[in-house]
Amino acid sequence: MPLIEWKDEFEIGISSVDYEHRGMIQMINKLHGKLAENTDKDMISDFLGEIHSLVSAHFALEEREMIEMAYDAFEEHKDDHEDLLDQIRDMMDELEQDDSGDIMKDLSRRLNHWFTEHFRTRDASLHNFLTSIKG
């Protein structure tokens, strides 16, 4: 069972960004599956590295779009992006130092919380902004 189910309200209205949002959710769901299979720590660490790269590239696209449209909440949205990237790096460091396996049990919950909260707040606000400027 996937960790995060795609919902239409996750769409912001920019097709390239929405496409990448779906891809990020697929990657997180794949990681969740690997965690459920008790995949070894090195594979999980590599997978988190892939997620970090994917998310970082996605944020660059989304931020460029926000700048081009003069999005009024750009700074707050960007700060939230930076927070997630920091959290993923922290998870990678914690995973490297964790011999008990506790961090692996918490990865899915932490990623699920960040993404669903970000979609519900920051991306919903961006969607509303886009709707208002399109008339």
Summarised one tens digit per residue, pLDDT across range 61-108 is 999 999 999 999 999 999 999 999 999 999 899 888 887 767 777 888
Contacts of 132 (CB under 8 A, 6+ apart): none
104 in a domain, yes or no? yes
Query: What is the CA angle 38-43-49, rounded to 5?
Result: 125
pLDDT reading at 135 higher than 70? no
Instruction: Output the pLDDT for position 96.
Output: 86
5 in a domain, yes or no? no
Residues 24-35, mean pLDDT to the nearest whole number = 90
Pick from 31, 22, 29: nearest CA to 50: 31
CATH number of residue 88's parent domain: 1.20.120.50
6 in a domain, yes or no? no
89 in a domain, yes or no? yes
Q: Model's pTM, two decimal places?
A: 0.85
9 in a domain, yes or no? no
Q: State the total domains in the chain.
A: 1
Domain assignment of residue 59, given as a range: 14-134
The two tokens of residue 57 are 């590239």
102 in a domain, yes or no? yes
> How much is the mean pLDDT over the chain?
90
Query: What is the CA angle 32-34-39, rounded to 5?
Result: 140
